[in-house]
């Protein structure tokens, strides 16, 4: 049913469908249950161009992004699970989820604030990855439909309280995330967070993209451009050495659009250590304290002509070629996922920043507000 935006914006009622200026729409329904019996809700955002985005309140997951190709064929271009309940129990690869408190790696799971050392779970060799679990990516967020300040835009707000001591992090951290979709095919993610103790924070969305469609196999022929002339070199355990390395004359040079597979098997220590791309690039367009997202990356599929542009206020982006997929995960359409079946473009601060003084700081002090925006813009070339 269609309901006036004046009467129902901000309510989370089963079965609501709200129309915005006869363009963007949003609907809500219960689709599964958490292990403890709580309902999992799905929000469907659609625009006038046929783009549809499905958001779950478990893990703040982007479950599907359905967009047309050059022949107007609609396909889902992100990887995930068919059963929404699986995001709470099986999502070890963080499909579509928000990861935190600290996305990416922290060496030996340790950092120090105000002369006190904190210990995180060790879940990636001898290091901590994505803040441990269960946390942001597997837990249920509070959610509600909200009115966007932007015209012709549908939006949903999700909120998560990470309690003091969760996975070893100090402070009660409250994170609010607003997903919004407009008629320019821009899916915007706006994060804010506050803490009652000094802590570290690094949040990102961990969507895996395949612009040819979720079931189409390897993305090695798809092209990527990263607006970055440097990357953070890592050791064999994917921990940054602290060196910010020029991409010139290396396989890490994506300053011009090139196929993902062009150099992925080159004899280069960084690629050999990670078994492909799994590195942080230092974004040339980053400006500290910027409120307007800057262009960070582009991607293109030559077969379907679909395009992706990524804009962010963050200083880095992790380009990941899904190196660890081995056929054990069955995806949304019943297909097993294998290495290079997708790519991720995770906007972020740099890995291990709390232990690397020359990297941009990830310290969030009591009374401060973390503020970050990322936009995924889909299109057709």
206 has catalytic annotation:
yes
Structure tokens at 240: 């940054």
Distance separating alpha carbons of residues 231 and 218, to the nearest angstrom: 25
Residue 105 CB contacts under 8 Å (≥ 6 apart), including other chains:
124, 127, 128, 129, 237, 238, 239, 351, 352
Separation between Cα atoms, residue 226 and residue 275, nearest integer Å: 20
Other C-beta atoms lying within 10 Å of the C-beta of residue 280 = 30
For residues 187, 57, 352, 188, the Cα torsion angle rounded to the nearest 10 degrees is: 10
Calculate the alpha carbon distances from 115 to 59, 111, 167 in Å. Answer: 32, 10, 19
* Tokens read off for 113: 């604030």
Q: Which of 184, 181, 209 minimizes the C-alpha distance to 345?
A: 209
What is the C-alpha to C-alpha distance for residues 217 and 213, in angstroms, rounded to an integer? 8
126 is catalytic: no
* From 130, 190, 206, 230, active-site residue: 206
DSSP state of 355: G
Residues identified as active-site: 206, 346
């Amino acid at each position: 049913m269609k309901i006036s935006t004046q009467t129902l914006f901000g309510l989370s009622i089963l079965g609501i469908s709200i129309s915005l200026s006869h363009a963007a729409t949003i609907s809500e329904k219960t689709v599964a249950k958490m292990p403890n019996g709580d309902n999992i809700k799905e929000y469907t955002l659609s625009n006038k161009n046929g783009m549809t985005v499905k958001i779950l309140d478990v893990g703040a997951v982007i479950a599907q992004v359905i967009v047309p190709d050059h022949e107007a064929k609609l396909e889902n271009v992100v990887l995930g699970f068919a059963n929404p309940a699986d995001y709470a129990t099986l999502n070890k690869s963080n499909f579509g989820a928000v990861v935190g408190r600290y996305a990416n790696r922290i060496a030996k799971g340790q950092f120090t604030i105000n002369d006190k050392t904190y210990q995180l779970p060790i879940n990636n060799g001898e290091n901590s990855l994505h803040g441990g679990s269960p946390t942001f990516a597997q837990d249920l967020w509070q959610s509600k439909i909200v009115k966007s300040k932007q015209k012709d835009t549908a939006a949903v707000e999700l909120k998560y309280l990470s309690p003091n001591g969760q996975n070893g992090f100090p402070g009660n951290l409250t994170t609010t995330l607003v997903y919004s979709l407009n008629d320019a095919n821009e899916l915007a993610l706006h994060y804010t967070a506050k803490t009652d103790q000094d802590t570290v924070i690094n949040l990102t969305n961990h969507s895996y993209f395949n612009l040819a469609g979720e079931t189409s196999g390897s993305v090695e022929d798809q092209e990527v451009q990263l607006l970055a002339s440097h990357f953070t070199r890592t050791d064999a355990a994917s921990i940054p050495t602290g060196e910010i390395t020029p991409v010139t004359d290396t396989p890490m040079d994506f300053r011009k659009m090139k196929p993902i597979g062009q150099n992925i098997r080159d004899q280069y220590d960084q690629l050999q250590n990670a078994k492909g791309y799994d590195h942080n690039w230092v974004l040339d367009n980053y400006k500290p304290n910027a409120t307007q997202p800057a262009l960070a990356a582009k991607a293109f599929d030559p077969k379907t002509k679909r395009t992706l542009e990524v804009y962010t206020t963050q200083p880095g982006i992790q380009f990941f070629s899904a190196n660890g997929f081995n056929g054990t995960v069955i995806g949304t359409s019943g297909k097993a996922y294998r290495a290079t079946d997708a790519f991720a473009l995770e906007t972020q601060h740099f890995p291990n920043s709390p232990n690397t003084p020359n990297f941009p700081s990830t310290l969030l002090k009591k009374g401060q507000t973390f503020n970050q925006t990322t936009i995924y813009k889909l299109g057709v070339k």
